[in-house]
Amino acid sequence: MGNALVTTDYNFKGQKSVYHGKVRDVYTLENDILVMIASDRISAFDHILPVGIPFKGQVLNQIAEKFLDATSDILPNWKIATPDPSATVGKACTPFKVEMVIRGYCTGHAWRVYRNGGRVLCGIELPEGLKENDKFSSPIITPSTKAEEGHDEDITREEIISQEIVSEEDYLQLEKYTHALFARGTEIAAEKGLILVDTKYEFGKDANGIITLIDEIHTPDSSRYFYTEGYEKRQASGEKQKQLSKEFVREWLIENGFQGLEGQSMPVIPDELVQSITERYIELYEKILGEKFVKSDVSEVVKRVEKNVNEYLNR
């Protein structure tokens, strides 16, 4: 399977700071430039799993690259260049402290709330009689606070505005962009025989105060996809939907007694699961982009990323 890119410790030209996130390592350089490395780490329930997933970072980075380009007519985004399969160089923005989660279906977190009797999610009333994976009459935005550590928390539009986390004017614009991006993602997915079930977007303001799309977009880490073929039949018969997302990792962890709750221990991750996760990520890449995934040379993946980024920065 090759080597996984799990940790980075680079010192790029003009580097001011580095932030190691759950999955991404973000290097801040002079002149408001960011270098974002998509590692092969994988997280679930806000915990990083103790193994890397080969090629996962490349999959995420290259899908995000394509979708940032495919939505740049809706609003500006942070990307400047992609000098390595696992790295993007872009402009630094001041992020809004909310994630804009949008859901077209009663799936995942929305279903868990609904199944447990909840009929209001982030201030939005949900109708009676829904089954898992039923389509909502129209997509709903269920924002969450962006936690520095631990779990992100559901929040309502009214709370975001009243607590001045985001101004009303900016928040209403974020909602418009979120609906427009989701509509574009839904359209592209449909062309490939997929349903974009739910996703999240992150936004910030650039140095000129312009609202900008940041981070990844429409990847299996930030989104959930179903196969269109057989969706209606599976819903009618109460079968599970065939999906391409990280949800199967969460389901495996739940089956093995882990949901990130106090007192729970992370189970040992078998090699077969690691391989199946890699295969699932590659499957999504090929399905959503409609092109063959070309595995990069990972024999010395840490050095490769450093070399390619440095060559770009030194131009």
User: What is the per-residue pLDDT across 166-205, written as a single tens digit (0 to 9) for each?
Assistant: 999 999 999 999 999 999 999 999 999 999 999 999 999 9
pLDDT at 254: 93
Confidence (pLDDT) at 78 = 98
pLDDT in tens, 95-151: 999 999 999 999 989 999 999 999 999 999 999 999 999 999 999 999 999 766 556
**pLDDT reported for residue 225:** 93
> Which fold, 95-244?
D-amino Acid Aminotransferase; Chain A, domain 1 (3.30.470)
List strand residue ranges (DSSP E) for the chain, in order. 15-20, 24-29, 33-38, 43-44, 47-48, 79-84, 87-91, 94-95, 98-105, 120-121, 124-125, 135-141, 144-145, 153-154, 194-205, 211-214, 223-227, 243-244
Average confidence (pLDDT) over 63-86: 98
Give the residue extent of every domain in the chain: 95-244
CB neighbours (10 Å) of residue 15?
15
Residue 198 three-state SS? strand
If one counts every other C-beta atom within 10 angstroms of the C-beta of residue 55, the result is: 26
Residue 111 to residue 198: CA distance in whole angstroms: 12
Whether the per-residue pLDDT at 208 is higher than 80: the answer is yes
Q: For the chain, what is the mean pLDDT?
A: 94
